[in-house]
């Protein structure tokens, strides 16, 4: 059986051994020398795993039946396939060896990349003459080699071209011209200017930075730039496998930062989980740190000359493309990244955002059209009396499970309010009526979930309502046994005496004209504090006869 066919069979039907644990290999394409140089992938995750694969095999992180590893060689059916890792950083090596020139594209068989890398392509390729998988680059070289291999060759469907063209067109942060590789600083600071909902496939997931300093530094690099628009964004725990994580190092650092691809979704660590990384520290120190910070275990594919936790590059001192674990520290208030542990440490002193080194820590996501479980053709919200009617039309549906309708009062914090099962197959129309909208502007979006649990979001739409009866009335007043509140959207009522003491607290589910039994009260003046579903309150007095 040919090598490609044999390994395709192995990777399609089986598991691979990784650090003693079985790992799902469904996203890892087959080891194939004939297509390694010019393959295009459907996702960032599959591109990262595919490009890293020969090096992970050599390091022992992956194993495949029939393939043996001897030093830096992969051997199958008596044929030897070499691997070579040389870590180059353009800032310190004057770009020597970091790229292959466009004039060498025919030698490597990478003509498909000529429209993407019109000048120089990051040097991670298979040498067909020497039967050599080699990387002569660094983390950003690996990262943009991965991103540029997602989609195809045109600016309309290539992930890297769509990113670069969008950033260069906005002209609010510094990025290398198309055809040249940017550095990790440029990528990290660019991520923070992306939209929070997918535009042309790209979105900003989470991040933090010294944004005033970034604005100043960017203008020293290019004084024609507009005002930088990067913002802090929490929710780091919402990152997924295949997202891109970048650290951006500023002008005082000797490096430009670091670029990584999430191999898995981040794992939030409990005290016991954090203890596994800091085994020599006392439980009291671990607990104290957990109380002040949130810490995530982040498994990544990257190209690095330093060893992470659980790193695959320990064999024979090999550096280059590999798999490892870093720890990201986030703020407990909004889950925005505030620092990281890059390599194994015996103390809980993390590298924080500062002007001496790290200007930004940001996460971005690219989703291809074919990854989306459904294509939304139209989505609208309309206020009708005291209700909101949502309508959406799908242009196509593929493996779609459901639509989760989400609502927000501020267009930032969304909550699920209903689930609509997908019809499936071709184009379909959907309708949902929100029976209990908020007072004022209601923002809605759809979480679109596919059959394996992956999700994406629609655009956000809004509807404005004034649904609260501002002037509540209590009747009868005076009253003997029962008082009724004339009003709607009431969530709770507290009964208070004339001295300010609360005598009763009754909760409702969006009540209209609720009644309160006051038969046991002594005669006198009392008050009702009425809380409305939008969070506001009213206080109205009455007399008990």
Q: What is the pLDDT of residues 29-44, one digit of tens each?
A: 456 677 888 888 889 9
Q: At residue 179, does pLDDT exceed 70? A: yes
Expressed as residue numbers, the domain containing 448 is 372-465
- In this prediction the pTM is 0.67
- Report d(CA 504, CA 544) in Å as an integer: 15
Q: Are residues 362 and 255 in the same domain?
A: yes
Pick 78 or 226 by higher pLDDT.
226
Q: Residue 398 sits in a domain of what CATH number?
A: 2.60.40.10
Mean pLDDT highest for which of 80-89, 114-123, 251-260, 358-367? 358-367
Mean predicted confidence (pLDDT) in 319-334: 94
Q: Are residues 232 and 329 in the same domain?
A: yes
Q: Is residue 89 part of a domain?
A: yes
- Report d(CA 80, CA 455) in Å as an integer: 42
Q: Are residues 314 and 416 in the same domain?
A: no
Q: Are residues 268 and 412 in the same domain?
A: no
Residue 537: pLDDT band with limits 50, 70, 90: confident
Instruction: Supply the pLDDT for residue 108.
Output: 84
Element holding 125 (H helix, E strand): strand 124-127
Structure tokens at 538: 């009213």
pLDDT, tens only, 342-399? 999 999 999 999 988 999 999 999 988 666 667 777 899 988 766 788 999 887 776 6
Choice among 117-121, 195-199, 321-325 with the minimum mean pLDDT: 195-199
Structure tokens at 189: 């600071």
Instruction: Supply the pLDDT for residue 225.
Output: 95
- Report d(CA 506, CA 508) in Å as an integer: 7
* CA torsion angle 10 14 19 24 (round to 10): 120
Q: Are residues 203 and 341 in the same domain?
A: yes
Q: Is residue 167 part of a domain?
A: no
Average pLDDT of the chain? 85
Instruction: Supply the pLDDT for residue 438.
Output: 83
Q: Is residue 164 part of a domain?
A: no
Last residue of a domain, one of 366, 381, 400: 366
Q: Are residues 237 and 298 in the same domain?
A: yes
Of 145, 531, 214, 155, give the one whose Cα is nearest residue 358. 214
**Residues above pLDDT 90, as percent of the chain:** 47
Last residue of a domain, one of 348, 366, 384: 366
Q: Is residue 159 part of a domain?
A: no
Counted domains in the chain: 4
Last residue of a domain, one of 465, 487, 504: 465
Instruction: Supply the pLDDT for residue 215.
Output: 95
pLDDT, tens only, 181-231? 899 999 999 999 999 877 788 999 999 999 999 999 999 999 999 999 999
Q: Are residues 251 and 304 in the same domain?
A: yes
Q: Residue 480 sits in a domain of what CATH number?
A: 2.60.40.1930
- Report d(CA 161, CA 369) in Å as an integer: 15
Residue 542: pLDDT band with limits 50, 70, 90: confident
With 0-12 CB in 10 A as exposed, 13-18 as middle and 19+ as buried, what is 405?
Answer: buried
Q: Are residues 135 and 217 in the same domain?
A: no
Q: Are residues 345 and 458 in the same domain?
A: no
Choice among 140-144, 193-197, 295-299, 386-390 with the minimum mean pLDDT: 386-390
Q: Are residues 477 and 447 in the same domain?
A: no
Q: Are residues 90 and 114 in the same domain?
A: yes
Sort residue 78 into left (φ over 0), alpha (ψ -120 to 50) or beta: left
């Amino acid at each position: 059986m040919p090598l490609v066919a044999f390994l395709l069979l192995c990777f399609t039907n089986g598991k691979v051994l990784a650090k003693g644990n079985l790992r799902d290999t469904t996203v890892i394409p087959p080891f194939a020398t004939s297509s390694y140089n010019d393959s295009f992938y459907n996702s960032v995750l599959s591109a990262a795993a595919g490009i890293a694969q020969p090096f992970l095999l050599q390091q022992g992180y992956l194993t495949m039946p029939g393939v043996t590893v001897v030093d830096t060689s992969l051997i199958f059916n008596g044929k030897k396939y070499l691997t070579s890792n040389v870590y180059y950083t353009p800032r310190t090596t004057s770009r020597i060896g970091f790229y292959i020139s466009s004039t060498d594209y025919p030698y490597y068989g990478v003509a498909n990349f000529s429209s993407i890398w019109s000048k120089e392509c990051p040097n991670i390729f298979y040498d067909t003459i020497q039967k050599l998988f080699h990387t002569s680059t660094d983390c950003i070289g690996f990262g943009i080699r991965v991103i540029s291999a997602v989609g195809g060759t045109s600016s309309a469907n290539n992930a890297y071209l769509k990113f670069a063209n969008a950033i260069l067109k906005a002209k609010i942060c510094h990025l290398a011209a198309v055809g040249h590789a940017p550095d990790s600083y440029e990528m990290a600071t660019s991520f923070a200017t992306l939209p929070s909902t997918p535009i042309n496939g790209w979105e900003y997931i989470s991040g933090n930075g010294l944004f005033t300093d970034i604005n100043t530094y960017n203008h020293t690099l290019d004084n024609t730039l507009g005002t930088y628009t990067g913002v802090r964004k929490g929710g780091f725990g919402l990152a997924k496998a295949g997202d891109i994580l970048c650290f951006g190092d500023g002008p005082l650092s000797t490096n430009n930062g670091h670029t990584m691809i999430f191999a898995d979704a981040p794992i939030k660590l409990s005290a016991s989980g954090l203890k596994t990384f800091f085994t020599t520290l006392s439980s009291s120190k671990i607990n104290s740190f957990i109380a002040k910070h949130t810490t995530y275990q982040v498994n990544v594919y990257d190209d690095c000359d330093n060893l992470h936790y659980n790193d695959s590059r320990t064999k024979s001192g090999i550096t280059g493309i590999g798999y490892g674990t870093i720890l990201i520290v986030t703020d407990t208030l909004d889950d925005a990244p505030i620092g990281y542990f890059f390599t194994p440490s015996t103390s809980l002193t993390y590298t924080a955002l500062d002007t001496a080194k790290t200007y930004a820590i940001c996460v971005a996501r690219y989703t291809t059209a074919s990854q989306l479980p459904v294509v939304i053709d139209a989505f609208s919200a309309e206020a009708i009396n005291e209700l909101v009617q949502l309508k959406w039309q799908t242009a196509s549906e593929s493996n779609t499970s459901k639509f989760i309708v989400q609502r927000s009062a501020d267009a930032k914090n969304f909550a699920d309010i209903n689930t609509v099962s997908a019809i499936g197959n071709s184009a379909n129309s959907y309708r949902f009526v929100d029976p209990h909208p908020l007072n004022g502007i209601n923002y809605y979006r759809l979480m679109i979930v596919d059959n394996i649990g992956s999700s994406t979001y629609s655009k956000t739409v809004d509807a404005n309502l004034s649904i609260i009866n501002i002037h509540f009335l209590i009747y009868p007043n005076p009253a003997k046994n029962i008082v009724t509140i004339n009003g709607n959207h009431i969530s709770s009522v507290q009964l208070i005496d004339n001295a300010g003491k609360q005598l009763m607290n009754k909760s409702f589910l969006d009540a209209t004209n609720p009644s309160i039994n006051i038969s046991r009260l002594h005669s006198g003046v009392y008050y009702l504090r009425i809380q409305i579903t939008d969070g506001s309150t009213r206080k109205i007095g009455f007399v008990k006869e």
